[in-house]
Structure 1
Amino acid sequence: MSIYLDGHSTTPLAPEALEAMSPWWHAQAGNPHSPHLAGMLAAQAVENARSELASLVGSDPQELIFTSGATEANNIAIRGTALAALEGGIDRREIVVSAIEHKSVLSSAHSLRSAGFRIIEAPVTENGVIDILALERMVGDRTLLVSVMAVNNEVGSIQPLADIVRIARAAGALVHVDAAQGIGKVPFDCVDFDFASLSSHKMYGPMGIGALFVSSAAHVRPLPVLFGGSQEAGIRPGTVPTPLVVGFGAAARVSRSRLGTDATHSRTLSALFLEELRSRQVQFIENIPEPSRAPGSLSLRFPGNDAMSIIARAGDRIAISEGSACTSGKITASHVLLQMGLTEEQASETVRLYFSRYNTEADATEAALVLSQIVGR
């Protein structure tokens, strides 16, 4: 079995989450929106999980709306807020996003151009951090929403959210944070934001479940982007998947108790891995310096080596990701790396790794050994 270091895409499922989910698949399978006993028990389990998640992100439980994942949460936060502003007669038609956002943010925002919105992409520095001076020039009295991720999903760069909030608030703009890659890895508190998108499978929970934080103090409440029932405060229709929500809550509970421990563990393993590469005289470049990235996250360029070839040759021993993306069957350079100033060739030489809670020192050493046998020294 290969060593799993693809935590940018998904982290391993926590045993506690798996155990918590188990009875809700069969013995206690009830629709949480039904009035019978099984339904009421399921509803209570959902609310308990909502409270666990709220404790992790510093919100009121009723400010959390369960979704199918962070992609759907991003769509609701951006499209739903824009549509609510149109319906409410709010005369702000600009949305500012960073140029390295997840495609679900960029695509959601750009889809609103047909509705009369202007989408402004703020540049980032070579370290993958939003250019604050440029952002200040871009946010003004026409800005409805500023949307910036907490931690980049490809390179792990941590964004200066306090400065971003300060700039948005001074202009009277709403703030949305895509926190999918941040919760469970770095401290995160929703209190300063209007909206925040959360993901379960990025923090050791099950796939297929996420949440959107909607502040009770936000002066615009998103409209639903899907239509059906009135579940989840009328923002997200559809039957809530009790087992997935329970697993999400269990993962949140564990992450809250292990946040500092996990960060130290991941940081130690990534440092060991890099030292092992150096000791084997492997040539590499860190795209993001250690102080600017989430613990355990690495974006490495191996000059003269094609990332896809590295991944293919290492695939039966270590699972890692590349710095490119497949769009319509065509491999293209990562927009994140290009916005950071890398060339297409340099982007094609980049791989990304994440050392998670469940990796060991032996994993770090073995991964360095495998890569040293593949890439040029």
Structure 2
Amino acid sequence: MPIYLDGHSTTPLAPEAMEAMLPWWHAQAGNPHSPHLRGMLASQAVENARAELASFIGSDQQELVFTSGATEANNIAIRGTAFAALERGIKRRGIVVSAIEHKSVLSSASALRSAGFRIIEAPVDESGIVDTSVLEQLVSHDTLLVSVMAVNNEVGSIQPLSDVVHIARTIGALVHVDAAQGLGKLSFDSADFDFASLSAHKMYGPMGIGALFVSSATHLRPLPVLFGGGQEAGIRPGTVPTPLAVGFGAAAKVSRTRFIADAAHSRALSALFLEELRSRQVRFIENVPEAKRVPGSLSLRFTENDAMSIIAKAGDRIAISEGSACTSGQITPSHVLLSMGLTQQQASETVRIYFSRYNSAADAVEAAGVLSEIVSR
């Protein structure tokens, strides 16, 4: 198996999460919304998981709504809030997002234009960080919602959320943060936001489940964008998948105790990897400097080398990616890299790498050797 360095897309599943999930696939399987014994046991397991996740982000467990992932959570936070504003007769029609948001944020916001909302994109600097001086000019008393991610999913740039919150609060706007890429990598305080989108598979949990934090203090709760049995406080209908929720909770519990160690480990491996590349005289450019990116994250441009060609040649030895995995298959430059000022040619030379909890120093050295061979050829 190739060395897995595509952690911005999906981190490896924590063994603790796998072990916690196993009984709920078969021996203890039950619908957590059913009144019989198995159902009640499943319901308790789901609530225990919700409590673990709440403890991790500093929220009350009743403020967390399980979803199928961060994409659905983003849709509910943006579209559901806009629909709630329309229903309540709130006149604000402005939604401000950063230019490098995940496609699920950008597309959710864009779809609201037909309902009369104005969608404004805030620019970022050359390091992929939202320009707060421009953001301050873009928000107004017509702004309903400001949505800025915690960490960019392609280049790892850390966003100045405290400044974003201050700007939004000054004019009375709601704040949504897509925290999928930052959860488990950066400290996170849910009390700062109205809404926050979370993803299990970005923090060593299972794929197929996420959550939306909805602050109990917010004055506008989002309406559901799907309709059904009214589960999850009426915001997200559908049967909660017990095994996945349990795995999410177990991953959160582990991350709570390993957060500082994980960051140090990932930072050390990425530094070793870069040192190994330099020792081999490999020419590369870091798109985001170390001080401005999440530990372990690298966005590297290998000049005069096509990223897709590098990835294809490295595929049987190391797993890396370019652009956003959610838009793979589309032969278009990354909107994130273009927003940072890179040309289409420069964007096509960029790969993204992430060193996770389960990578080793040997992985970093071997990966540098593999890329050295490919790029030199």
> What's the TM-score once normalised by structure 1's chain length?
0.99
**Deviation per residue, 1:13-56 (Å, 9 max, x gap):** 00000000000000100100001110000000000000000011
Matched residue, 1:151: 151
Cα distance, 1:48–1:135 mapped onto 2, change above 3 Å: same
Matched residue, 1:259: 259
The AA in structure 2 aligned to 1:359 is: N
In 2, distance between residues paired with 1:158 and 1:91? 32
Matched residue, 2:308: 308
Deviation at 1:327, TM superposition (A): 5.5
> SS at the partner of 1:373?
helix
**1:65-84 paired onto structure 2 within 5 Å:** 65-84=65-84
The AA in structure 2 aligned to 1:219 is: H
> SS at the partner of 1:321?
coil
> SS at the partner of 2:152?
coil
> SS at the partner of 2:376?
coil
2:9–2:325 contact (8 Å) kept in structure 1: no
In 2, distance between residues paired with 1:324 and 1:80? 25
Deviation at 1:130, TM superposition (A): 0.2
1:202 aligns with 2:197: no
Matched residue, 1:368: 368
1:135 aligns with 2:148: no
Cα distance, 1:215–1:271 mapped onto 2, change above 3 Å: same
Deviation at 1:325, TM superposition (A): 6.7
1:325–1:333 contact (8 Å) kept in structure 2: no
Cα distance, 1:124–1:112 mapped onto 2, change above 3 Å: same
Deviation at 1:91, TM superposition (A): 0.6
1:325–1:334 contact (8 Å) kept in structure 2: no
In 2, distance between residues paired with 1:329 and 1:357? 28
Matched residue, 1:345: 345
1:57 aligns with 2:75: no
> SS at the partner of 2:332?
strand
In 1, distance between residues paired with 2:39 and 2:361? 45
2:153–2:324 contact (8 Å) kept in structure 1: no
> What's the TM-score once normalised by structure 2's chain length?
0.99
In 2, distance between residues paired with 1:328 and 1:304? 22
Matched residue, 2:126: 126
Q: Percent identity?
A: 81
**1:1-377 paired onto structure 2 within 5 Å:** 1-323=1-323, 330-376=330-376
Cα distance, 1:16–1:326 mapped onto 2, change above 3 Å: closer
The AA in structure 2 aligned to 1:43 is: S
1:6–1:352 contact (8 Å) kept in structure 2: yes
1:273–1:368 contact (8 Å) kept in structure 2: yes
In 2, distance between residues paired with 1:166 and 1:33? 40
Cα distance, 1:61–1:324 mapped onto 2, change above 3 Å: closer
Deviation at 1:226, TM superposition (A): 0.1
The AA in structure 1 aligned to 2:196 is: A
Deviation at 1:189, TM superposition (A): 1.1
The AA in structure 1 aligned to 2:64 is: L
Q: What value does the CA root-mean-square deviation take over the aligned residues?
A: 1.1
1:324–1:348 contact (8 Å) kept in structure 2: no
1:227–1:237 contact (8 Å) kept in structure 2: yes
> SS at the partner of 2:204?
coil
> SS at the partner of 2:112?
helix
1:109–1:119 contact (8 Å) kept in structure 2: yes
Deviation at 1:329, TM superposition (A): 5.1
In 1, distance between residues paired with 2:126 and 2:134? 14
**Deviation per residue, 1:167-190 (Å, 9 max, x gap):** 000010000000000001111111
Q: Which segment drifts farther, 323-332 or 108-117?
A: 323-332
The AA in structure 1 aligned to 2:347 is: A
The AA in structure 2 aligned to 1:143 is: T
> SS at the partner of 2:211?
strand
Deviation at 1:376, TM superposition (A): 3.2
The AA in structure 2 aligned to 1:323 is: G
**Deviation per residue, 1:95-114 (Å, 9 max, x gap):** 00000000000000000000
Cα distance, 1:7–1:329 mapped onto 2, change above 3 Å: closer
The AA in structure 2 aligned to 1:111 is: A
Deviation at 1:330, TM superposition (A): 3.6
In 1, distance between residues paired with 2:139 and 2:197? 21
**Deviation per residue, 1:120-176 (Å, 9 max, x gap):** 000000010000000000011000000000000000000000000000000100000
